Structure 1
C-alpha cells in the first residue's frame, strides 16, 4: 500500500516509516499539518497515519479538512492523549481508528490491515494493471499472464511506484525518495541493481517488455506503443 505519515516527533516518525518500508509499503513522510493536508489531497494514498499534536495544523483539524473536501482516505490518529474525550473527538472528526502512544508496531500493523479489509478501503484502488501485469496492493501479490511472480518487498514497492505512474518517467531520485530513505548517496547503484532484478522477473520470461529504461532520466512501465 501507499501510506502517508504525518508526524513531527522524529523518533516516532522514523520508527513507523522504517517498519512500513521493511514490509514493502511505499511511504511518504511529512512533519506538519499543512503539508499533511496538501499531500493527502494531491496524491493517491491507501491510508494515512496522522499524529494528533502537530505544528501549523493539528491532526483533528487535518481529519476535518479532508472529510470536508470529500476525501474518504482511511486515517489512523496517533496520540499521547489517551482520554476517552480525546478519542471520541478524533473519531467524531472522521478518523477511522485511534492509537495511543507508546504503541507496538505490530499493533499499528494490525490496525492498518484491519482497515485494509474494510469496504471503505476496498472501494479505492486495490489493484494496479498494466497490460497483463497485475499488482494486488492488499495481498501484496504479483501476476503476469496468469503466472504468479515472487517479488521481494522492495521490488514490489518499486514496481508499485512505476505502475502508479504508468506511461510516465519515474526518475532514479524519485525511487530513492519513495522506496528507500534519504541516506543513500547519489552515486549508489542500488536502484539499477533492483531494476535489473525486477526486469528479470516481470519481463524476461515473457514476450513483451513492459519495464523500460529512459536514458539519462529514469524508468517507465507501459505497454508497447
Structure 2
C-alpha cells in the first residue's frame, strides 16, 4: 500500500512517514500544495493524507481537483483543532475522514485502516491468498502449504500488487510507479530482477502458482503449473 503525505510542517511529515513505514506502508512526502496535486494526480496512491493549510494550494483545493477528475482514492485531511468550517467543506467535497492535530499514531493508523477497508483495498489480517500462496505483509513472508520463506520489502510489495490485481495484467510501468514512485529513476530491469527473485522463491516452495510474462504488456499471476 502506497500513501502520499502532503504536509508543510517538515518535522511532522517526517514523523508521519516513519510511523507509516514501520507499519509496512510505502510513503512519499511533499511539502506544498502544487507538488501535492501533481503527485496525487499520478493515480498511484492507495490513500492521501492532506494537510488543509499548505503553501501554493490548500488541501481542500487539491481534494476538489482530485474528485473532479473522478478519482476515488481515499483522502484523510489533517486539520488544526479549530478548523470546523474546513472540516465540513472537506467532507462535503469528498474527503473520507479527518484527523485533528495533535493526534496519536494509533488513531491515525486506525483511521487509515478504516478508510482503506471502506475502499476495499485493505489487506486482511490473515494475509492475502491466491492459488496456493498465502502472503503475510505485516511480517513479510510467503507460505505455500506447510513451507514458508521470508521476503524482502520490495518482493513483498510486488507480490502484493500482483495478488491484489488478481488475474489482471500489470505493466512494468505500473510496477515502477507503485513500488518506486512516479518520479523514480528505477528502470525495467529493476522490475525484471524482482520478478526473477519471486519466481525462484515460488519454485523453491513448490508452488503451482506462476508469474506469467505477457510479452510487450506485463505480468500476470496465474494458478496451476504451465
Normalised to the residue count of structure 1, the TM-score between the two structures is 0.65
Q: Secondary structure, in 3 states, of the residue corresponding to 2:204?
A: coil
Instruction: Give the deviation of 1:157 after TM superposition.
Output: 3.5
Which residue matches 2:187?
none
In structure 2, the CA distance between the partners of 1:176 and 1:90, relative to structure 1 (3 Å rule), is: closer
Which residue matches 1:60?
60
Q: CA RMSD in A?
A: 4.4
> 2:108 and 2:60 mapped to 1: Cα distance?
19
Q: Secondary structure, in 3 states, of the residue corresponding to 1:42?
A: coil
Alignment of 1:28-67 (within 5 A): 28-67=28-67
Which residue matches 2:102?
102
Q: Describe the superposition over 1:63-116 as per-residue Cα deviations: whole angstroms up to 9, x where unpaired.
A: 111111111111000122533223212211211111111111111001011112
Contiguous gaps of at least 5 residues in structure 2: 182-192, 212-218
Q: Secondary structure, in 3 states, of the residue corresponding to 1:117?
A: helix
Which residue matches 1:186?
none
Instruction: Give the deviation of 1:153 after TM superposition.
Output: 7.9
Normalised to the residue count of structure 2, the TM-score between the two structures is 0.65
In structure 2, the CA distance between the partners of 1:150 and 1:15, relative to structure 1 (3 Å rule), is: farther
> 2:171 and 2:77 mapped to 1: Cα distance?
33
CA contact (8 A) 2:45 2:178 kept: no
In structure 2, the CA distance between the partners of 1:37 and 1:177, relative to structure 1 (3 Å rule), is: same
In structure 2, the CA distance between the partners of 1:109 and 1:203, relative to structure 1 (3 Å rule), is: farther
Which residue matches 1:24?
24
The number of equivalent residue pairs is 203
